[in-house]
A = this chain, B = another copy of it.
Amino acid sequence: MDFTAPTADQVLAIKVNAGIDELAAHPRFAAASPDMVEAIVEGIGQFAAGEFAPLNRKGDQEGAKLANGTVTLPDGFAEAYRAYVEQGWNAVAGDEAHGGQGLPFTLAANVLENLGAANMAFSLLPMLTVGAIDALAHHGSPQQQALYLPKLVSGEWSGTMNLTEPQAGSDVGALRTTATPRGDGTWSIKGTKIFITWGEHDLAGNIVHLVLARTPGAPAGSRGISLFVVPKYLVKPDGSLGPRNDLRCVSIEHKLGIMASPTCVMSFGDNDDCIGELIGHENEGLKAMFTMMNSARINVGNQGVQIAERALQQARYYARDRVQSARAGGASREPVAIIEHPDVRRMLLRMRALTEGSRALLYYTAGQVDRGALSDVAAQLRADCLVPMLKAWGTDIGCEVASLGVQIHGGMGFVEETGAAQHYRDARIAPIYEGTNGIQAADLVTRKLGYEQGGVLTSLFAEIAADCADAPELAALAGDCEGIVRWMGAEASLDDRLAGSVPFCTMSAVAVAGWQLQRQARALAGEDTPQAKAKTVVARYFAQHIASEARGLKAQATAGADLFYALDAEALAG
């Protein structure tokens, strides 16, 4: 079925949770006027629905195909991508110096939200380009920036991130790809990378690969990694394309979902002639990685919101259309639309609360990132803490909402023709890539928990508890979270913290999302509109049902690690 952008709820979240008006008050974001915001949200929503969404099912069925080293996409992808670039959507948050519109990250998040809800696999192409832009904008030389950024910002060229190798997944420091000086200031790159999203395709004029590699004599582990820009076609000093670089796509993966996103095995330097340029300094590749990581993780958390929205739209359409069984206990024996049955209502309300709650968390996080870019240190620290919550919980609920969508379809949900199953398959990658959700939770209870000796987290939860007097379940959950932070900071061992990290991360995310939904409901409280009425119900449901459920994770968060190591590996794997 068709996709319609959830414009009203997005505008609400951008206003209330990101606080766009406050951002626009700053000269840097002055362009983000209310009119501009609405024009962007409405415009990208219509574009995504009109151009990306109709390709979603076709992309799933036909998929990306590799033949003779070239990856092709189904008919229509090239035209849609061209329209996307020509209409300037890729450039929303790009630096004005490189042809961007200089708008807040919040609005770039909205562009991605709409593209990804319309077509998650396709939206990975612009999403990966963002990472390349971030790395070059922060660490590239002026020449590199001048050569690459304008075309990456416009979207004329696309970008990739080449981290993973077969023996180096979550542990980037284990990578073996090498970079050797060629004597002319450039480097010779040699190695194989796997899981390279949109590593090869024919939609953009050039593909700008960012590649992590080791230089001769580099220290072992993650301190010996450097970052290189390695274009598919070499770029002449005037910006025009030179010959093909010595790199190629060896194969693409046969995956569970996101079929239209080619996941490539890339081989660099088969003929010892793969030319790269160092970005920044040697052995500082990981620092550059961290630059990209926050926005990349937010963008993946965003994918959870996207797939949830798409699955919700499909399920609510089906639930109103499908007539089956009379209402239990009702006077009439006539069958009704299944949306009238209590448990279908439960599923739909849950889907909606998780979707809108994760959206509220997304834009709250994006707004804190934008404040961080305006040198608001407290906001930046808070953003850093929100990122793992959003990435992990956002992608978890993406899977859950897609699964509920399948369930509402009954037997038709298991049949591929309805499309509900595609969302279920597509959603499953997001908890894995860009740092598994376990790694997000570990980041939260180690690095982020250490911020101001736990103070950044405790002040967040204290603020929620104080601001949720009207939602006692949320206040209680926030209190639990604050207590867990204190326990983790004082008594718990590192193992204990890691053992409780995933349940704690979920509890934290639910507390923040529920709080932000309450803020939305309050912002609409004076209005007698369908949106205001629905939001009150959704926020209430979230607090009463979802926050209460999350409190049930407290025992897991605080149980410690002893039981996990009571058996050795052999006995555990019994």
A349 at the interface (CB under 8 A from B): yes
Residue of B nearest to A572 (CB): B348
Tell me which residues across on chain B come within 8 A of A25, comparing CB atoms. none
A378 at the interface (CB under 8 A from B): no
A569 at the interface (CB under 8 A from B): yes
A438 at the interface (CB under 8 A from B): yes
Task: For A344, give its contact among B323, B425, B438, B555 (CB under 8 Å).
Answer: B438
A540 at the interface (CB under 8 A from B): yes
The B-contacting residues of A in range 73-93, CB under 8 angstroms, are: none
Tell me which residues across on chain B come within 8 A of A433, comparing CB atoms. 411
CB distance from A397 to the nearest CB of B (A): 13
Tell me which residues across on chain B come within 8 A of A169, comparing CB atoms. 324, 410-411
**A498 and B545 within 8 A (CB):** no
A415 at the interface (CB under 8 A from B): yes
Task: For A563, give its contact among B256, B431, B537 (CB under 8 Å).
Answer: B537
**B411 and A164 within 8 A (CB):** yes
**A325 and B473 within 8 A (CB):** no
Residue of B nearest to A194 (CB): B411
Tell me which residues across on chain B come within 8 A of A348, comparing CB atoms. 572-573
Q: How far is the CA of A319 from the CA of B174 in the complex (A)?
A: 18
**B569 and A339 within 8 A (CB):** yes
A22 at the interface (CB under 8 A from B): no
- Chain A 381-423 near chain B by CB (<8 Å), digits 1 or 0: 0000000000000000001000100110011011111000100
Query: Chain A contact residues (Cβ within 8 angstroms of B): what range?
Result: 35 or more
The B-contacting residues of A in range 407-461, CB under 8 angstroms, are: 407, 410-411, 413-417, 421, 424-425, 428-429, 431-433, 436-438, 441-442, 446
**A540 and B563 within 8 A (CB):** yes
**B428 and A572 within 8 A (CB):** no
**A534 and B502 within 8 A (CB):** no
CB distance from A437 to the nearest CB of B (A): 7
Q: How far is the CA of A559 from the CA of B572 in the complex (A)?
A: 39
**A436 and B410 within 8 A (CB):** yes
**B416 and A573 within 8 A (CB):** no
**A534 and B571 within 8 A (CB):** yes
Binds B, one of A94-102, A266-274, A546-554: A546-554
A530 at the interface (CB under 8 A from B): yes
Tell me which residues across on chain B come within 8 A of A544, comparing CB atoms. 555, 559, 563
Residue of B nearest to A326 (CB): B171
**A432 and B403 within 8 A (CB):** no
**B417 and A343 within 8 A (CB):** no
CB distance from A343 to the nearest CB of B (A): 4
Task: For A572, give its contact among B349, B411, B417 (CB under 8 Å).
Answer: B349
Tell me which residues across on chain B come within 8 A of A551, comparing CB atoms. 552
**B436 and A563 within 8 A (CB):** no
**A495 and B424 within 8 A (CB):** no
Task: For A257, give its contact among B411, B414, B498 (CB under 8 Å).
Answer: B414
**B320 and A569 within 8 A (CB):** yes
Given contacts A549-B552, A549-B555, A556-B549, contact A324 B573 (CB under 8 A): no
Residue of B nearest to A541 (CB): B563
Task: For A495, give its contact among B329, B553, B573 (CB under 8 Å).
Answer: B329
Tell me which residues across on chain B come within 8 A of A34, comparing CB atoms. none
Given contacts A349-B572, A403-B399, contact A410 B432 (CB under 8 A): yes
Q: How far is the CA of A308 from the CA of B567 in the complex (A)?
A: 21
A239 at the interface (CB under 8 A from B): no
A342 at the interface (CB under 8 A from B): yes
Task: For A342, give its contact among B428, B548, B561 (CB under 8 Å).
Answer: B561
Tell me which residues across on chain B come within 8 A of A329, comparing CB atoms. 493-495
Given contacts A548-B556, A552-B548, contact A415 B253 (CB under 8 A): yes
The B-contacting residues of A in range 278-312, CB under 8 angstroms, are: none
Tell me which residues across on chain B come within 8 A of A540, comparing CB atoms. 563
- Chain A 115-147 near chain B by CB (<8 Å), digits 1 or 0: 000000000000000000000000000000000
Given A263-B415, A329-B494, A414-B432: 12 more A-B contacts, CB < 8 Å: A170-B324, A255-B414, A255-B421, A256-B421, A256-B425, A316-B572, A317-B573, A345-B565, A348-B572, A407-B431, A407-B436, A530-B574
List A residues at the B interface (Cβ < 8 Å).
164, 167, 169-171, 174, 194-195, 221, 253-257, 263, 316-317, 319-320, 323-325, 328-329, 333, 335, 337, 339-349, 352, 399, 403, 406-407, 410-411, 413-417, 421, 424-425, 428-429, 431-433, 436-438, 441-442, 446, 473, 493-495, 498-499, 501-502, 530-531, 533-534, 537, 540-541, 544-545, 548-556, 559, 561, 563-567, 569-574
- Could you list 9 examples of A-B contacts with CB < 8 Å? A170-B324, A328-B498, A343-B442, A343-B498, A345-B561, A407-B437, A413-B432, A545-B555, A545-B556
Closest 10 interchain pairs by CB?
Answer: A552-B552, A548-B555, A342-B498, A316-B573, A345-B564, A343-B438, A329-B494, A171-B325, A256-B421, A342-B499
